[in-house]
Chain A
Amino acid sequence: KAGVTQTPRYLIKTRGQQVTLSCSPISGHRSVSWYQQTPGQGLQFLFEYFSETQRNKGNFPGRFSGRQFSNSRSEMNVSTLELGDSALYLCASSFLQSRETQYFGPGTRLLVL
């Protein structure tokens, strides 16, 4: 069974731009969670989607948004990028809900200049 895939793997943007990241969960998994990972803060929960609905949200500004499609694929969007948004963005999929065992993708490394 294929694992979680994320595209692109690397991205360089400048301040003020926006970016869209994509995540394809493990086949059959319906819950997708997004995380931001930085050296100082570790893994920070962004949001969780299930059946095309955002189910939970972390403490991030409204510039961070996401959506999920009917095939469970998910996208995350960050608008008006700031230098501090430079991080590894990880998505994780689980079968029904985020409290079950999560399986992570390789991440998208975003650098904001």
Chain B
Amino acid sequence: QKEVEQDPGPLSVPEGAIVSLNCTYSNSAFQYFMWYRQYSRKGPELLMYTYSSGNKEDGRFTAQVDKSSKYISLFIRDSQPSDSATYLCATPGTYKYIFGTGTRLKVLA
């Protein structure tokens, strides 16, 4: 079992839709989680980070952690074509970052 699992998609949604991207993790010791966005042929850029449980909001983006079910989510409201990218969840493991494989999102105009 991978330490962080993520549905690879692709996920296609119409412009303006609410998008839900999800990851599960296996180690209950993980407490710090990040979401990265990666456009085609670019490096990942940090989008949001959260610590422990609860929600964190930044503009159209909300990151949510549910420690009881080991589930992390990223919600995108009023999605735009410019949000089309691959989204990766990540957590600092014992000595290295652990990344999900990424979910490819396409927002259709």
Contacts and interface: CB of A to CB of B under 8 A. Distances in A.
Given A33-B97, A101-B34, A101-B49, A43 B88 contact: yes
Interface string B66-109: 00000000000000000000001000100111011110000000
Interface residues on A, range: 20 to 34
Given A101-B34, A101-B49, A42 B44 contact: no
B42 interface: yes
B96 A106 contact: no
Contacts of A41: 101
Interface in A1-60: 4, 6, 33, 41-43, 45, 48, 55-56, 58
Nearest to B43: A104
Interface residues of B, number: 18
A72 interface: no
A105 interface: yes
Contacts of A55: 95
A86 interface: no
A42 B41 contact: no
B43 A98 contact: no
Interface in A75-113: 90, 92, 98-107, 109
B57 interface: no
A106 B43 contact: yes
A88 to B, nearest CB: 8
A98 B97 contact: yes
Given A42-B101, A43-B88, A33 B96 contact: yes
User: What 3 pairs between A and B have smallest CB-CB spacing?
Assistant: A42-B101, A104-B43, A99-B92
13 contacts: A42-B88, A42-B100, A43-B88, A43-B97, A45-B96, A48-B95, A98-B96, A99-B92, A99-B95, A103-B46, A105-B43, A107-B42, A107-B43
Given A99-B95, A109-B41, 4 more contacts: A43-B99, A48-B95, A55-B95, A101-B34
Interface of A: 4, 6, 33, 41-43, 45, 48, 55-56, 58, 90, 92, 98-107, 109
